[in-house]
């Protein structure tokens, strides 16, 4: 989910600060994406695309797809520019397989399926791909990550059959379930892992949403690369700042370059000054290619080290947090209720 189209439809205030955060927020890490999601819109009715479903076989090999998802057709703009019509159940299989490791707990995968369905509904209503004759696209930089079953099977090797069925089950078990707030589908954004707490949407995008507020997130040391570092020489920092045209004054000693670091309520960097120029945490994250805005800065031997925890923008559902909750016995409904405060599940139909 790596880029702009999904966000272009959002209203201007929500775009504040997005430009600098998008590049990292939407990193092309196929297995662990961070969803863009749409603006809240009226839920029903969902348009029925005119195109006929393709004859492609269902991704489900043994778990029958749910009735509601089977009855709904999406036109998916493929990377090669063609438009393929398929059922919601087939589409969701391809998204969940691309967005979350198949090794995750079934309840985490079910949570992901509901997020993907909710986002898809919003996207259909937003009609941002109308000119393409499509409802949604397979470009992770625009809509949601997407992988064809044959490519997923290749990736999964000897586990292909088991994982295929596991994901089919996650989609079918949540058939037709959509997260809503005030009767409209929510912006079901998600990310990989948090440093103890999720972020408020306002911290990251400048616009508050009642269901995207900080909550505790239970993932921890078992997350791969949970703690990461980026080390840059003073010259490299200077070069990056110059390249970004920030107008920083870096003529003095490097020890004085970074100043006045402030943090948000959820512990992420809210702002930090570089050479007298204030950067948001998201902007600093993007400029220095950090995995999240939860970081500290230190200077030693002429080089800056950014010590980072977690991965992603931090808003909405944490995938590793969902997996940790699932391991501790939570079901998908509980996981979604935890990460999307006040959101309600509705069945579309």
Q: What residues line the site for Zn ion (CB under 5 A)?
A: 5, 137, 142-143
Among 92, 122, 134, smallest CA distance to 110 is for 92
- From the CB of 84, what's the least distance to Zn ion, in Å? 14
Which residue's CB is nearer to Zn ion, number 5 or number 270?
Answer: 5
Cβ 5 to Zn ion shortest distance, Å: 5
Concatenate the DSSP letters of all residues of 83-95 into one string: EEEEEHHHHHHHH
Residue 313, strand partner residues? none
| Shortest distance, position 96 Cβ to Zn ion, whole Å | 17
**Across the strands, what pairs with 292?**
312
Q: Closest CB to Zn ion among 2 and 268?
A: 2
Residue 127 CB, nearest approach to Zn ion (Å): 11
Burial degree of 156 (CB within 10 A; 0-12, 13-18, 19+): middle
Cross-strand pairs, 347: 177
Nearer to Zn ion, 1 or 326 (CB): 1
Phi-psi region of 310 (alpha: psi -120 to 50; beta: other; left: phi over 0): left
What's the min distance (Å) between Cβ of 322 and Zn ion? Answer: 24
Beta carbon of residue 118, minimum distance to Zn ion (angstroms, whole number):
16
Strands (E), the chain: 73-77, 83-87, 136-137, 177-181, 184-185, 190-191, 227-233, 258-263, 269-274, 277-280, 295-300, 303-309, 317-318, 344-347
To Zn ion, the closest distance from the beta carbon of 36 in angstroms equals: 9
d(CA 97, CA 343): 24
Give the residue carrying structure tokens 């400029």.
287
Q: Is the peptide bond before 45 cis (omega within 30 degrees of 0)?
A: yes
Cβ 313 vs Cβ 36: under 8 Å? no
Which one, of 88, 63, 60, 64, lies nearest residue 74 by Cα? 88
* Smallest separation, CB 53 to Zn ion (Å): 20
Return the number of the residue (95 or 199) whose C-beta is nearest Zn ion: 95
């Amino acid at each position: 989910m790596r880029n702009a189209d999904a966000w272009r439809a959002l209203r201007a205030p929500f775009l504040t600060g997005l430009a600098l955060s998008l590049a990292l927020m939407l990193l092309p890490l196929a297995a662990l994406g961070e969803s863009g999601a749409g603006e809240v819109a009226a839920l029903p009715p969902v348009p029925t695309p005119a195109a006929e479903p393709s004859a492609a076989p269902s991704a489900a090999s043994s778990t029958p797809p749910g009735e509601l998802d089977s009855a709904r057709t999406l036109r998916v703009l493929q990377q090669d520019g063609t438009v393929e019509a398929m059922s919601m159940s087939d589409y969701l299989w391809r998204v969940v397989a691309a967005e979350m490791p198949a090794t995750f707990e079934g309840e985490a995968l079910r949570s992901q399926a509901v997020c993907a369905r909710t986002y898809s509904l919003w996207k259909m209503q937003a009609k941002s791909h109308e000119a393409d004759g499509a409802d949604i696209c397979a470009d992770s930089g625009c809509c949601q990550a997407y992988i064809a079953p044959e490519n997923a099977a290749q990736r999964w090797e000897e586990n292909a059959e088991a994982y295929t069925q596991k994901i089919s089950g996650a989609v079918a078990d949540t058939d037709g379930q959509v997260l809503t707030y005030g009767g409209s589908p929510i912006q079901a954004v998600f990310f990989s892992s948090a440093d103890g707490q999720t972020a408020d949407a306002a911290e990251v995008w400048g616009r508050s949403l009642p269901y995207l507020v900080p909550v505790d997130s239970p993932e921890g040391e078992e997350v791969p690369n949970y703690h990461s570092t980026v080390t840059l020489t003073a010259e490299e920092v200077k070069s990056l700042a110059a390249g970004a045209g920030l107008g920083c004054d870096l003529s003095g000693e490097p020890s004085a370059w970074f100043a006045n670091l402030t943090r948000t309520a959820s512990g992420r960097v809210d702002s930090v000054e570089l050479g007298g120029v204030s950067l948001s945490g998201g902007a600093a994250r993007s400029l220095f290619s950090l995995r999240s805005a939860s970081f500290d800065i230190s200077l030693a031997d002429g080089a800056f080290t950014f010590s980072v925890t977690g991965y992603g923008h931090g808003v909405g559902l944490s995938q590793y947090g969902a997996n940790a909750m699932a391991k501790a016995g939570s079901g998908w409904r509980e996981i979604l209720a935890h990460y999307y405060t006040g959101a309600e599940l509705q069945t579309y139909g």
